[in-house]
Amino acid sequence: MNVELQLNAALGSTRGASSQWSREAAQAVHDLPFNDLLFRAQTIHRENFDPNRVQLSRLLSIKTGGCPEDCGYCSQSSHHQSGLKASKLMEVQRVIAEARKARDAGATRYCMGAAWRSPKERDMDAVVAMVEGVKALGMETCMTLGMLDLGQALRLKQAGLDYYNHNIDTSERYYSEVISTRTFADRLDTLANVRDSGIKVCCGGIVGMGEEKADRIDMLVTLANLPEPPDSVPINMLIPIEGTPLGEAEPIEPIEFVRTIALARIMMPKSHVRLSAGRTAMSDEMQALCFFAGANSIFVGDTLLTAENPGEDKDSALFRRLGIKPMERDAQ
């Protein structure tokens, strides 16, 4: 499909299941005049979602710090001097108790993250019990545990895991500038195992790590061209953390960040686009533009794993001002 035809298909929300995004078509959409880009993104968003509903998820770190990976943005890496102490895996009942509080506060999806390269067999029984316990509360379940083989993915699926998060982080070109302990292909292998197990894929990336515009576009092209686009696409704005290699990274320009959100919405019309890490550095107006550009999912709570997040009172106040309501479970 040539660039003009693909661009017209994208802007008309008629992208066929068999078509593939080219870098040229994605960049043509990204580079539209800002008002045109947001108009197109909002039009496509309304065709697939209620424009005034946002999904609320809660994220809990079930095992913090001591990770053997060297991801340049992460405070939990054992390679960095961030001052974060490693912890043991949380007890199952404590995780379930925290999930119950999140449910009672309005969250419909509960995400559990462990700072591992991949889960060890000795930890799988506890992880499975967490999934079963949270599922029994009537919540959607999500986990991020590092790399998975197919057997682990199938076991989590049998336990009732709905989503697995495993971000590709950035473009294949820029990836080695950020991480050296696992490859871009390793990430794609885990996504394939998750997909083959029947678990829904949650996969996005981080912007503001010193990458170029082309890298942000290529990242979204990779995601949109997976055999099935991810059900959830978290777009994180880097939170520079002292003691990490990216601790002094220059922040991404706000309008460029909104463009990235809009492009994700246009390229993946039926995916939940999550406005993820970095919201503490965003003004209310910037967040409002992101919601208009097609973001329809956020994490609630005071922390995201180890980073700060806007408190629930602040989110509730912003939602009231914008006329936004939490997405109901059946609509997700």
Q: Where in the sequence numbering do the catalytic residues fall?
A: 67, 71, 74, 111, 142, 202, 274
Q: Which residues contact 26 (CB under 8 A, 6 or more apart)?
A: 217, 220, 221, 224, 263, 267
Rounded distance, CA 111 to CA 123, Å? 17
Q: In the structure encoding, which two tokens stand for residue 221, read together? A: 């092209």
| Torsion, CA 159, CA 160, CA 165, CA 166, rounded to 10 | 40
Rounded distance, CA 147 to CA 193, Å? 9
Rounded distance, CA 127 to CA 154, Å? 13
Rounded distance, CA 53 to CA 23, Å? 31
Angle at which helix 150-159 crosses helix 184-197, to 10 degrees, equals 40
